[in-house]
Amino acid sequence: MAFTNPQIQTEDLPNVEDVVLKPISKSYLKIIALNGLAFYSLILGALFGLKYLIKEAPFQNNFWYLFFGVLGLCIFSFIMSILAFKKRKYAVRGYDVIYAKGLIVHSVVTVPISRIQHVEESRSWLARHFGLSTLKIFTAGEAGSDLSIRGLQHLEAKSINDFISSQVDGNK
């Protein structure tokens, strides 16, 4: 075999920007909303609980300011998480898996399939109701380089899982 060592033009390399990222399932928005509502109502409930526990004047007098402050924060973070939903996207290429997320801090993580140690598909109780699952991809790296793609259609997750598993096994 003749050995060739052609120069690589960086422009010719496969570009992540050209990849059409798929949005995750719309139903996951419901899960985000439900989780969010449960969490915020817990916080607000705890606040009301404090109102009955703490009888001191400064707290009682300013209670409603505090309440609306917290409520405002909750609404803000709720809107943010709804908006950020659109940013949750993923793609599987022949040699890697890409996952993008985040509104305020947007990140695009790519894990080469050859570096994947194992894949796991997990479904919470709520997710099962909506026919969704989470795909967890583990690498050998620190916790930082593991991926977990939430809110995939169950079948989709399964097929990606199978694809990656076969690739990972094939490499060995």
Partner 1 sequence: METNDFSQPIRQSTKGIIVIFAFNLVKFVKKFFVLFIAFGVSVFRNKSVGNITPTMVLLALIGVLIIILIIAILKYLNFKFHISKDDFHLATGIINKDNTIIPKSKIQNVYIKQNFLQQIIDVVSVKIETAGDKKSEIEISALDKPTALLLKKKLFKKAQIDTQAIEDAEQVNEPEVFFKVTPKRLLLEGLSQNHFKSFLLIFGFAFGLYSEFKDFLVELELENHIEGLVELDETAILNLIITNVIIVIGVVIVSFLFSVVKTFIINFNLEVVEHQKTIEINKGLFNKVSLSLTPSRIQNLVITTNRLKQYFGLHTLAVKQAMVNVKQQKNFNIVALEKAQLNYLVDKLLSNYVEDKSNVAKPRPYFMRISALEMFIFGVIINALAWAIFGMEMLWINAVFLPLAVLYVYIAYKKAYYIISEDFVTIGSGVIDTTTNILEIHKIQSVKLKQTIFQRPKAIASVVISTASKSVTIPYVQKSEAISIYNFLLYKVESQDRDWM
C-beta of 1 vs 13, nearer to partner 1: 13
Bridge partners, residue 92, by sequence: 97
Output the smallest distance, CB 119 to partner 1, in A.
14
Output the smallest distance, CB 9 to partner 1, in A.
10
C-beta of 119 vs 132, nearer to partner 1: 119
C-beta of 26 vs 106, nearer to partner 1: 106
Query: Contact at 8 Å (CB) between 31 and 126?
Result: yes
CA distance 39 to 44: 9
> What is the amino acid identity at position 39?
F
Region for residue 64 given its phi and psi (left: phi exceeds 0; alpha: psi -120 to 50; beta: otherwise): alpha
Query: Contact at 8 Å (CB) between 140 and 149?
Result: no
Strands 96-101 and 132-139: unpaired
Q: Which residues bind partner 1 (CB under 8 A)?
A: 8, 10-11, 13-17, 95-96, 103-112, 114-115, 139-142, 144-145, 147
Q: Which helix (H) or strand (E) holds 125?
A: helix 125-129
Output the smallest distance, CB 86 to partner 1, in A.
13
C-beta of 101 vs 150, nearer to partner 1: 101
Output the smallest distance, CB 153 to partner 1, in A.
24
C-beta of 20 vs 57, nearer to partner 1: 20
Per-residue DSSP letter, 3: -
Output the smallest distance, CB 137 to partner 1, in A.
9
